[in-house]
DNA sequence: GTCTATAATCTGATAGAC
DNA sequence: GTCTATCAGATTATAGAC
């Protein structure tokens, strides 16, 4: 269907413009120019500018879902829940920091007026559940899980704000995860990941 | 000086508008209305809209500096560097979460085109140095300090995004700080803050 | 220092021809 | 489905009278 191809191109250019101008800082005219269309013609595909954000939000969450599925499938063989958790956290941090604008749309409230549609929100929920699954499987639940999500969010936030494109915080991910697992499951760990700082 | 009073009022209303509309999402007209002035008259006080953001940025960092100074003065008597660190982290987290818009301006890159002036930036630097001082005094330095700032940033980010106005993540601050100090200074701690999750 | 007037431009969105 | 034409308004900022 040619229609779908046009929609995909519009969304792709909306990402591109958001990456160069800041999330959402593009006009319908600008977007139309990019896809070789008048601004008004965009309304054949999206009823409003906010609907474009929803398409971006959905796509970003589908990418997250896919990324986490692949990482989980790869770890399934081993059957080591600790290693799986470490990998999944690392995968998540890399996913987030690799595209700050996507991270901003998916996890921060920064586009005024944007509310995800029901379908988009369901996909986001699914991706979240899949991401925290391995930690839950280890018995880490709500109060402790909050500290885990905070640490992960912090690594991402610092990486994006203070070393965009680098790995100054990303490379601390394993140490951070080890620290959390030691905090919550002191018995489980004696063998793996001695990333602890030597005194 | 009446001029200074007008400047203060303009900045105060700019904060107010940012809190209700989102950071920076106000027009000069709107701002002028609030202070009983035409939009054009604002240009007698600020050469551009971006200059208003700089005044806000400066004010926010002065507030941070003052807050940290008070907290540090209060802890000076005790002379317990561990307790001081715990308190200072807690103070910082509360300062940040108590005003999400201020946090956004001070610590995230979200206003397109805004770059702090030299003077504002110097104040920001001073506030940062004062905030991390107690951790540095404990011997926690650059690689470890990065993990500390990440954890703090994460608590703030999660609190603001997922429980604005609440304390779901703020109340984890002490546990998080204990965990970090145990990670980096395992010998120093045997007496204090047994906030560790019981097995 | 505040005003009116206005420049110069951008905004999202709709109507209707083809 | 794309276009032209246009609405109805917004935007930051400047010029110059008072």
Q: Is B148 helix (H, G, I), strand (E, B) or coil?
A: helix
Verify that A154 and A67 share a domain, yes or no: yes
How many CB pairs lie under 8 A apart between chains A and B? 94
Q: What is the pLDDT of residue A1?
A: 83
Q: What are phi and psi for residue A128, nearest 5 degrees?
A: -65, -45
Domain count of the fold of chain A:
2
Verify that B107 and B170 share a domain, yes or no: yes
**Residue A114 CA, nucleotide D11 C1', distance (Å):** 22
**Considering the domain boundaries, does residue A125 fall inside one?**
yes
Closest nucleotide over all strands to A2 (CA to C1'): D1
Q: Which of residues 25-54 of A touch strand D (CB under 7 A)?
A: 32, 36-38, 40-41, 44-45
Whether the CB-CB separation of B123 and B63 falls below 8 Å is answered with no
Whether the CB-CB separation of A69 and A130 falls below 8 Å is answered with yes
User: A152 contacts in B (CB within 8 Å)?
Assistant: 154
- The answer to whether strand C lies under 7 Å from the CB of residue A48 is yes
Number of Cβ within 10 Å of residue B130's Cβ equals 17
Verify that B108 and B34 share a domain, yes or no: no
Verify that A19 and A106 share a domain, yes or no: no
**Considering the domain boundaries, does residue B52 fall inside one?**
no
Closest nucleotide over all strands to B7 (CA to C1'): C1
Q: For chain A, first and last CA: distance in Å?
A: 62
**Considering the domain boundaries, does residue B167 fall inside one?**
yes
C-alpha distance from residue A22 to each of B54, B92, B111, B188 (Å): 19, 28, 9, 45
Answer whether residue A196 shows pLDDT above 70. no
Number of Cβ within 10 Å of residue A77's Cβ equals 7
Q: Which of residues 30-59 of B touch strand C (CB under 7 A)?
A: 32, 36-38, 40-41, 44-45
**Considering the domain boundaries, does residue A53 fall inside one?**
no
Answer whether residue A195 shows pLDDT above 60. no
pTM of the model: 0.93
Partner residue opposite A146 with nearest CB, options B25, B172, B186 = B172
User: B173 contacts in A (CB within 8 Å)?
Assistant: none
Residue B145 corresponds to which tokens in the numbers above?
């300090």
Verify that B101 and B42 share a domain, yes or no: no
Whether the CB-CB separation of B100 and B164 falls below 8 Å is answered with yes
DSSP code of A198? P
Answer whether residue A96 shows pLDDT above 90. yes
**Considering the domain boundaries, does residue A52 fall inside one?**
no
Residue A35 CA to residue A14 CA, distance in Å, equals 10
Answer whether residue A69 shows pLDDT above 50. yes
Verify that A99 and A4 share a domain, yes or no: no
Q: What is the pLDDT of residue A79?
A: 86
**Considering the domain boundaries, does residue B109 fall inside one?**
yes
User: B155 contacts in A (CB within 8 Å)?
Assistant: 150, 154
Q: What are phi and psi for residue A45, nearest 5 degrees?
A: -105, -35
Verify that B85 and B117 share a domain, yes or no: yes
Range of the domain at A139: 58-199
**Residue A73 CA, nucleotide C2 C1', distance (Å):** 69
**Confidence grade of residue A194 (pLDDT, cut at 50, 70, 90):** very low
DSSP code of B195? -
Verify that A165 and A83 share a domain, yes or no: yes
Verify that A92 and A37 share a domain, yes or no: no
Verify that A42 and A73 share a domain, yes or no: no
Please name the residue whose C-alpha is nearest to the C1' of nucleotide C14: A40
Residue B176 buriedness (CB in 10 A; 0-12 / 13-18 / 19+) = buried
Contacts of A3 (CB under 8 A, 6+ apart): A45
Verify that B29 and B124 share a domain, yes or no: no
CATH of residue B5's domain is 1.10.10.60
With CB atoms and an 8 Å threshold, state whether B147 touches A108.
no
**Considering the domain boundaries, does residue A147 fall inside one?**
yes
Residue A115 CA to residue A128 CA, distance in Å, equals 18
Q: What is the pLDDT of residue A123?
A: 98
Residue B84 CA to residue B63 CA, distance in Å, equals 20
Verify that B106 and B181 share a domain, yes or no: yes
Q: What is the pLDDT of residue B193?
A: 45
Name the stretches of chain B with pLDDT < 70.
189-199
> Could you give the residue ranges of the DSSP H alpha helices within chain A?
2-21, 28-34, 49-76, 81-97, 100-107, 118-137, 142-162, 173-184
- The answer to whether strand C lies under 7 Å from the CB of residue A44 is no
**Considering the domain boundaries, does residue A13 fall inside one?**
yes
């Amino acid at each position: 269907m040619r229609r779908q191809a046009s929609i995909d191109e519009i969304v792709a250019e909306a990402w591109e413009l958001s990456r160069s101008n800041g999330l959402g800082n593009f006009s319908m005219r600008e977007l139309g120019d990019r896809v070789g269309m008048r601004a008004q013609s965009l309304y054949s595909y999206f009823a409003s500018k906010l609907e474009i954000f929803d398409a971006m939000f959905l796509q970003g969450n589908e990418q997250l879902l896919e990324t986490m599925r692949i990482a989980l499938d790869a770890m399934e063989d081993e059957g080591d829940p600790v290693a799986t958790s470490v990998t999944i956290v690392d995968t998540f941090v890399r996913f987030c920091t690799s595209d700050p604008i996507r991270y901003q749309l998916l996890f921060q409230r920064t586009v005024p007026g944007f509310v995800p549609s029901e379908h988009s929100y369901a996909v986001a929920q699914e991706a979240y559940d899949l991401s925290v699954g391995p930690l839950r499987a280890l018995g880490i639940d709500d109060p402790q899980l909050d500290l885990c999500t905070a640490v992960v969010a912090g690594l991402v936030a610092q990486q994006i704000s203070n070393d965009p494109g680098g790995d100054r915080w990303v490379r601390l991910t394993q140490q951070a995860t080890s620290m959390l697992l030691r905090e919550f499951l002191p018995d489980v760990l004696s063998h793996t990941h001695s990333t602890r700082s030597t005194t």
